[in-house]
Amino acid sequence: MKRCRWCGETFAIRPGSGRPRKYCKRSHRQRHYESKRLTDGCGLEPDGLLIGTFEIDDLRDRFFAFEAACEDIETDLEADGSLAAHKTAVAKLLAVARPILEIRSAFGDRDLYG
């Protein structure tokens, strides 16, 4: 299995001759080409990514919430190291981490996997 450079989905590698595929679909290869031409035209680095201010603000908010939760959990566990406290801490951490894991959907089909 290989991961598509555009959408990140895994796809089966077909045996045979020729260059190994990097994309799960031909349209994703085309989207990557278009994106590369756009970033080249804007003077960005070859692996640059254009991202809107809304997405950047959303990322900052998610990471701030994650950082705050980690600090809170660390403080809570210093005060109470019981199994129940650890279970509660894991539940809190998962609740904050899930929105971070949804970042991929926030970016649509943009290349997050290089």
Q: Is the pLDDT of residue 107 over 60?
A: no
85 in the same domain as 41: no
73 in the same domain as 42: no
Q: Give the structural domain span for 27.
A: 1-50
Nearest in space to 68 (alpha carbons), one of 97, 101, 106, 91 = 97
* The token pair that represents 12 in the structure block: 């089966």
In the block, which residue shows the tokens 């566990």?
77
State the helix-helix crossing angle for 53-79 and 83-101, rounded to 10 degrees. Answer: 180
Q: Is the pLDDT of residue 45 over 80?
A: no
68 in the same domain as 37: no
Q: Is the pLDDT of residue 89 over 50?
A: yes
44 in the same domain as 63: no
58 in the same domain as 14: no
60 in the same domain as 109: yes
In the block, which residue shows the tokens 């904050």?
96
Q: Is the pLDDT of residue 96 over 60?
A: yes
Residues contacting residue 96 through CB under 8 Å, at least 6 positions apart: 65, 66, 69
Give me the mean pLDDT over the 60-68 stretch.
91
- Indicate the range of 19-23, 24-28, 45-49 predicted with least confidence: 45-49
- Residue 106's pLDDT is 54
